[in-house]
Structure 1
């Protein structure tokens, strides 16, 4: 954050969007330290700042911190010759120095008539209002039509926006989807290599290990784990990981998966589909899961999700789990596995077929992207052909909640292991073909 704010000071960046989790000092760095650093150490005391927040009290909080810092004996001893404070304009909403620089507080509703060299927009939308379309559009309209006219010099003045993601159509979503020319600094709580942030200054994220935490000194693994458990999947995806998904679901809608108390009578075909991940969970990391999902289908055309076995383990533990679940399911349940590409994938398939002798095994290579492979399953779910077997609260806590959370976030979620297994099982039941060693 500091490096990119320094680039604003140097004139390299005039529009900056920062997305970071709450509690990572974003307001203090952007709204307190940076303005007072420009006034004092950078010898820019004539700079004028307007701090905008969704709630005036939040703006007052940071304005007071700035004023206390600028008035402190330490600051005045070092830079008081440049930043001497005036007596006639020294209030919590607006204070000035004798070089005509000031820092003011505003909200989207009362910024009219103000102009500044720096507009610092800190969380323009509250978490409580993020799901209100009217509130989101009100902020977005103000941003488009009113904010750009509040700059002293449109060519050289700067707008800095710092916020957590709250909705796919929040202000950050508007800026990014319509490519409004903002340099985008994005730092999730858990590192995701495929989303490494790169800006005009180069790679902006110093982390390398998947799941590595952003601020472990303040948010260690046990704290982050508990926060995510309490917040739930949607808030975690947006506020922590800065990739909000539609609350009602992306490709899959949560409401499509209705519970059923018992499996309907009659003949049924059953598949347990596996999505494999051979990595064991390391401290502070968030690797993929190994998932085995059991789904059945009867002559009525309904797909019943009977249960999900989800864990992290070594290759030996994964192998043991597949054989153990096969023994529990019995020989009437087809085992669906995905063949990895290349010779190694063929060798692995051969190993599984030999280990699962006596069972019906379906092994197929993955073709197409994940969303394409999941689309047939989404069509069945949307048509009302998918049910979830729910016998009580224990099921909902153990596997139904995590399954619905993940599938509703797809394809924007951090994990898609359950989605992949679900799609493979539905496709196997809808199409059905059994591979043997001769097919590999």
Structure 2
């Protein structure tokens, strides 16, 4: 509708319209443009619109064609050439391949192309229109970047009826809870849930980067009202686990912490938070949190704990076990799922739903610093000490 038929409709309305269209792959973007051209040249179109559109003989290719009334369609792909071209309408269809959405480099490449390259290709910044059609694949995908920064018209059509439908009046159009009862009926969706997995289904069908209720993490943490939460002196192994970074740049990683202790078999999360700051500010920030401080041994080999100890912070360097971030997180979930991890109720919303650090978005969230600090705390309380330092 948007990438193939809409450009044809634009030329019916105004034949001088200039269009730039793009996708994650050049052959896909070209296929869309060719189908638009086939529509415009078809006998059926000419029958509906007798005053049909004439194409210029010298510019009538698959990736670049013009009509005789100054209208133009130019095709590119993420990272492709677009310099020198300008559009009244810029149409972006799937700027990132779902198979590459787990790659931070590919996410940044797609977001840069959409946000920095195509945005400069408008014929008139006041009136040129940009339309992007895509599945939600990650909190930091191009759609996520747009939603975080821009005032826009957001249309969201999940395959199954949910609170995510936008505009909300479109909920009335769903039949039997389905957006498309013919192509995406209950049987087809059930198969897709198996084929895509929980995260793939959430992004490609339900248009949210993480499954409703969480993926690797779910709402397993036991909330305890602040007024009756245990005091630190009631707990053993009480301290603060850190995932540290030394920059205050907003897009970079934050320093995150999780203060916790243990009573019997249960772990109690007393405090948590995160912030972006340079090293001197980080030292001051850490000194305000309960000691001792548990800091992951960094791969560089430099003793982070020694640096903090030299600055008056009682720190213990720990070796995190379990492989990559996802594997370590999966190792930390069993005690939480078993109801053995409690948290102050006032911290629960931040833990689950913070737009940058919420655990329910992991591993597709913008940042995973808080996740790493919580995982380290849970593993520290759950694993024998000899595995930690």
* Structure 1 residue 103, shift from structure 2 partner: 1.4
Q: How does 1:212-291 map to 2 (within 5 A)?
A: 212-245=177-210, 252=217
CA distance in 2: counterparts of 1:251 and 1:231, whole angstroms: 15
C-alpha RMSD over aligned residues: 3.5
The residue number in structure 2 matching 1:102 is 72
Change (3 A) 1:228 1:182: same
The residue number in structure 1 matching 2:233 is none
* Structure 1 residue 300, shift from structure 2 partner: 6.3
The residue number in structure 1 matching 2:158 is 188
Write the deviation string for residues 231-270 of structure 1: whole angstroms up to 9, x where unpaired: 1111111111111129xx779389x9xxxxxxxxxxxxxx
Kindly indicate whether the alpha-carbon contact (under 8 Å) linking 1:191 and 1:207 is maintained by their aligned counterparts in 2: no
The residue number in structure 1 matching 2:171 is 205
Kindly indicate whether the alpha-carbon contact (under 8 Å) linking 1:49 and 1:118 is maintained by their aligned counterparts in 2: yes
The counterpart of 1:59, out of the listed 10, 14, 29, is 29
The residue number in structure 2 matching 1:117 is 88
* Equivalent position SS for 1:227: helix
Q: Which is bigger in relative contact order (C-alpha 8 A, separation at least 6)?
A: 1
Write the deviation string for residues 54-109 of structure 1: whole angstroms up to 9, x where unpaired: 10000111111011111112223443535112211111111111111111211132
Over alpha carbons, which structure has the higher Rg?
Answer: 1
The residue number in structure 1 matching 2:6 is 34
The counterpart of 1:151, out of the listed 115, 118, 122, is 122
Kindly indicate whether the alpha-carbon contact (under 8 Å) linking 1:60 and 1:93 is maintained by their aligned counterparts in 2: yes
Kindly indicate whether the alpha-carbon contact (under 8 Å) linking 1:302 and 1:386 is maintained by their aligned counterparts in 2: no
Q: How does 1:29-428 map to 2 (within 5 A)?
A: 29-40=1-12, 42=13, 44-79=14-49, 81=51, 83-109=53-79, 110-178=81-149, 180-192=150-162, 194-198=163-167, 203-207=169-173, 212-245=177-210, 252=217, 301=265, 385-386=335-336, 409=360
* Equivalent position SS for 2:202: helix
TM-score, with length taken from structure 2: 0.55
Which aligned runs of 4 or more in structure 1 are off by greater than 4 angstroms? Answer: 381-388, 408-412
CA distance in 2: counterparts of 1:160 and 1:383, whole angstroms: 40
CA distance in 2: counterparts of 1:76 and 1:220, whole angstroms: 35
Kindly indicate whether the alpha-carbon contact (under 8 Å) linking 1:56 and 1:107 is maintained by their aligned counterparts in 2: yes
CA distance in 2: counterparts of 1:190 and 1:181, whole angstroms: 26
TM-score, with length taken from structure 1: 0.49
* Equivalent position SS for 1:183: coil
Kindly indicate whether the alpha-carbon contact (under 8 Å) linking 1:95 and 1:103 is maintained by their aligned counterparts in 2: yes
Instruction: Structure 2: state its 5+ residue gaps.
Output: 222-262, 268-330, 339-358, 364-389
* Equivalent position SS for 2:3: helix
Kindly indicate whether the alpha-carbon contact (under 8 Å) linking 2:198 and 2:215 is maintained by their aligned counterparts in 1: no
CA distance in 1: counterparts of 2:182 and 2:215, whole angstroms: 34
